[in-house]
């Protein structure tokens, strides 16, 4: 019977076809843009055929059938199947560039490509809100996207452990780290009286650090997604990412925790705060 059902959606030009092909390579039965009212019948047929993994695409081409979505999902849940929602997005510039390269017309085809993209974002807002996983493909190659999907939707290698270690540079750099990320240039909560005594695990400190990290957190995450795809292919048993700030109590702790949350669905993760209790 069907044990895993992934519903792929997102912007036109964001890589849904690439995603579907990647899932097919992971032994998913993939079907593109089937109206939702037929999903339960498809699941029933796949179950009788011994198919365990199913992937389906739905996007703005199915606008006239969107009223069928909730009843279809409800019926899948009655059959014991909880759909996983994957939403692919990309910047306006990336989508326009891709359409320029392929010379294809945006499926809405109502106004300019930029206006069509804006309209499509509005139409897909509900589907994006349902997503368990959101991937920005603006700077991803097809190979990188496929690797990311393999790490999320493929069989997990339980022997591989991804560890995030926070540390303070004043106490020394971990010698066993595979990657060291320096966070000392980010604004330091230590110099804010209201945060000085609070650890990086405190929600107030987390909000402060993330709000002031700009795009750097996403750049670090993007680098790690690309790196780990290659690391796993190499067959290594584990990977240690060390994140350092001055004392190891605030910025590094926040980044370690947030990255562990992001990578947790794809890898077996561990978090360690080496210097959190040292103080000073």
**CATH value at residue 22:** 3.40.50.300
User: If pLDDT is split at 50, 70 and 90, which confidence band does 158 have?
Assistant: very low
Is the C-alpha dihedral spanning 45, 49, 20, 102 positive or negative? negative
Q: Is 202 helix (H, G, I), strand (E, B) or coil?
A: coil
CA within 13 Å, CB half, 58: 30
Which of 130, 153, 176 is where one domain is finished?
A: 153
One domain for residues 125 and 245? no
**Residue 127 belongs to domain spanning:** 4-153
Is residue 268 in a domain? Answer: yes
Which pLDDT does position 276 carry in this prediction? Answer: 87
Burial 32-56, CB ≥16 within 10 A → b, else e:
eebebeebbebbeebbeeebebbbb
Burial class (CB in 10 A: 0-12, 13-18, 19+), 230: exposed
One domain for residues 72 and 179? no
Domain count, the chain: 2
One domain for residues 30 and 148? yes
In the predicted structure, residue 44 carries a pLDDT above the cut 80 = yes
Which pLDDT does position 54 carry in this prediction? Answer: 95
One domain for residues 242 and 124? no
Which of 119, 153, 187 is where one domain is finished?
A: 153
176 token code pair: 């066993």
Which of 105, 123, 153 is where one domain is finished?
A: 153
Contact 8, 28 (CB under 8 A): no
One domain for residues 182 and 239? yes
One domain for residues 76 and 130? yes
Residues with Cβ within 8 Å of residue 18, at least 6 apart in sequence: 142, 145, 146
User: If pLDDT is split at 50, 70 and 90, which confidence band does 77 have?
Assistant: very high
One domain for residues 215 and 253? yes
One domain for residues 189 and 135? no
pTM, full prediction? 0.58
One domain for residues 123 and 20? yes
Is residue 280 in a domain? Answer: no
In the predicted structure, residue 212 carries a pLDDT above the cut 80 = yes
One domain for residues 114 and 230? no
Which pLDDT does position 156 carry in this prediction? Answer: 55
Number of C-beta neighbours around residue 241 at 10 A: 25
């Amino acid at each position: 019977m069907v044990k895993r059902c992934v519903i792929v959606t997102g912007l036109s030009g964001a890589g849904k076809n690439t995603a579907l092909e990647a899932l097919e390579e992971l032994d998913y039965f993939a079907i593109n843009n089937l109206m939702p009212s037929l999903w339960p019948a498809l699941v029933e047929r796949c179950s009788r055929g011994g198919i365990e993994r199913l992937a389906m695409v739905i996007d703005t081409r199915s606008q006239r059938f969107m009223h069928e979505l909730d009843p279809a999902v409800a019926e899948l849940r009655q059959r014991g199947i909880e759909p996983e929602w994957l939403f692919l997005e990309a910047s306006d510039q990336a989508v326009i560039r891709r359409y320029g390269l392929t010379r294809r017309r945006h499926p809405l085809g109502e106004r300019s490509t930029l206006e069509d993209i804006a309209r499509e974002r509005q139409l897909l807002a509900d589907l994006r809100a349902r997503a368990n996983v959101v991937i920005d493909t603006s700077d991803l190659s097809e190979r990188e996207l496929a690797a990311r999907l393999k790490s999320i939707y493929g069989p997990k290698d339980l022997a591989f452990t991804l560890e995030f270690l926070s540390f303070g540079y004043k106490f020394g750099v971990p010698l066993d780290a595979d990657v060291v990320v320096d966070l000392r240039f980010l604004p330091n909560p230590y110099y804010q009286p209201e945060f000085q005594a609070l650890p990086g695990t405190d929600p107030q400190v987390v909000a402060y650090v993330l709000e002031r990290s700009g795009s750097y957190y996403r750049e670090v995450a993007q680098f790690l997604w690309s790196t780990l795809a290659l690391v796993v292919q190499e067959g290594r048993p584990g990977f240690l990412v060390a994140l350092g700030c001055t004392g190891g109590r605030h910025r590094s702790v926040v980044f370690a925790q947030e990255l562990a949350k992001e990578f947790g669905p794809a890898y077996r993760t561990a978090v360690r705060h080496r210097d959190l209790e040292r103080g000073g």
